[in-house]
Each structure stands twice: as C-alpha cells, then as structure tokens.
Amino acid sequence: MKYFLFAVISTFLFSCNNTAPKNGSATADTTAKKPGVEVPSFNKDSAYSYVVAQVSFGPRVPGSKAHEKCAAYISERMKSWCKDVVVQKCRMAAFNGKLLEGKNIIASYKPGLKNRIILCTHWESRPWADHDPDPKNRNKPVDAANDGASGVGILMEVARQFSMKEPTIGVDLVLFDLEDYGPPQDQSNGADKWWGLGSQYWAQNPHVKGYSARYGILLDMVGAAGATFLLEGISQQNAGDIQQKVWDIANRIGYSSYFLYERGGMVTDDHIFIMKYLNIPVIDLIHLDKNTDSGFYPYWHTTHDNLESIDANTLKAVGQTLLTVSYGEK
C-alpha cells in the first residue's frame, strides 16, 4: 500500500457499487457473536506474540537473512495449523531493475469448496524509511511492526482458531511478499505497478488454476494504538456492500471507536490487483488518519514503525471482526 489516489480510478476495476456509508453508532454487543453462530474469542496476546516474533528477526527486507528466516517461521507455523499450505515462489523486477525473490504464503481451509473468501495481508518490510522526519534515517529499513507484521500476526491467530474450529465456508489466508518495495518518495512517479509485486504475481498466477472467491478482506497497518479504519475509497466504489457488512459487524460487536463510518481516500494497495486480474471484490481495511500529512498511520514508512506502536487491543478489534465475519458466512 503506499500512496493515496486522488484521480479517477482506471476502468480495469468493476462497475461502481457506490453503497453510501451508514451514519450510526454501534450497539455495545461485546460478545462477538451473531445470532445462532458460535464465534471463538480472538486471543490478542497470541496475535501480539506473533507480531513480536516477526519483528525479532530484524527488518524483513527482500534478499536479507531476516526475510529468509521470517518466511520459514511463518510457513512452518501456518503448516502446524493448516494441512493445505502453499509457499509460492516468485521473481519480480523492482522499480530500479533489481530482481527480487519473493514468497507468497497461502493457507487454505476447505480447499475443495467453491464457496470461499480471502483474508490477506503482506509480511515483508520496506527497505527505506523515506517518510522519517529525520533525514538521516531515510535510507534505513523499517521494522514494519504495524505495516506488515500486525496483519500477519492477526491472520496467524485466525489460522490457529480455524485449526480448532473450521468455518462453514472455505477460507484462503494469503500473505503477500514484495508489497512494499516501491520507489522512495523522491523517486516516485506515481506508477501503481511498482507496488504490490507479490499480489500482482499471485493474482496473475493463483495457487489454484481458475481460482475464484466471493470476496476478500485486505489488512494493512492494523495494530497501532487508537487506530482508525475509514471507508477506503476504491473499496467503497467496487466492494461497498462488503465494506458495509464488515463495518456493521465490527460496530455491532463493540468496536465502533476503530471502524468509523467516514470516507477515506483512495489507496494503492494489494486489493486493486486482485480486483483487476481475478475480478474478486476486495476491501482494504487500513489505518487512515486525516490528521497526518500522509493520510496514513503517523509512523508510516518511518523508523518509528516498531513494537512500541503496537496495541494488542487493536489486534483484538480487527481479529475478532474477521472471525465474526468468517464464521457468520454460509
């Protein structure tokens, strides 16, 4: 994910849904249940421990030892919770011509079912803290505790929960690599193609021939204290009904302070490539902040995106919402 789009979106996306955002507040139902559906309790401490484990390897920059070790860690843990795990190797050219070796990690629950959804995020770290307030830090890699590890930590805990009680439908947990290797701020030409390289590869070469799903939810920067998830614009246009459903569920189970019924900007992120190449509606659940210059989480692409910014309560809000959505599907 890496920058706002203010221009009209290209015609490769679906025809617009344009579901209007609902103006309302949540009822305080903190039981995290939908009538008639038993939803497990998302363990925030477990999710937090997975975030810590990823960050402990060091910045997970493609081509580094930390990147290699973290890929092994994630795939091994996923295989302990899911019998159908694919580690998809990919080679993609970066904006500077460098060939990057990536690994998309996909865990599939009930892979034989056509009735399925996608939950996805990215797992690697940005090589440059190009938005750091201190110019001396702008060539340093990012720990990416929030911008990467938080979404993975949540999906790892979701995988653990699924291993104990599978949802009725099929679910693919897709962890993309090579998402955040786009050009530094001073070299950016605004081209979408240099971002989301792992998701571009997967969407054009899915792990299952003829792959399809009803919809997807993308996580991006979902672990910071006091996070605000606004209605991202591309999601609103192309998957507004799904976005509305997820926000309604989050508000119903007590997370109205995180999931706000406010319009946000349009963001270049992995969801646009899944929609472009696979024609699957995907929403971007992303921390947007109208009070920052970037419009994102305050420590976006800085050296301050570290464990100090992570709050287990935010992980819980997002994770419990995902579980409630998943177990509520038929």
β strands within the chain, DSSP E: 3-5, 85-93, 99-109, 116-122, 170-176, 215-220, 229-231, 259-263, 266-268, 282-286
pTM for the model stands at 0.91
Residue extents of the structural domains in the chain: 3-328
Confidence bin at 185 (pLDDT 50/70/90): confident
pLDDT of residue 33: 45
The predicted pLDDT at position 188 comes to: 60
Question: With bands split at pLDDT 50, 70 and 90, how would you rate the model's confidence at 35?
Answer: low
Please tell me the distance from the alpha carbon of residue 13 to that of residue 222, in angstroms, as a whole number: 25
Strands 85-93 vs 99-109: parallel, antiparallel or unpaired: antiparallel
Mean pLDDT of the chain: 90
Query: How sure is the predictor about 115, in pLDDT bands with cuts at 50, 70 and 90?
Result: very high
- Exposed (0-12), middle (13-18) or buried (19+): which is 114, by Cβ within 10 Å? exposed
pLDDT at 27 over 50: no
SS3 call for 219: strand
What span, in angstroms and rounded, lies between the C-alpha atoms of 121 and 271?
10
By three-state DSSP, how is residue 169 classified? coil
The fold of 3-328 is: Aminopeptidase (3.40.630)
- Note whether 92 and 197 are within 8 A (CB): yes
**Average pLDDT score over residue span 84-105:** 97
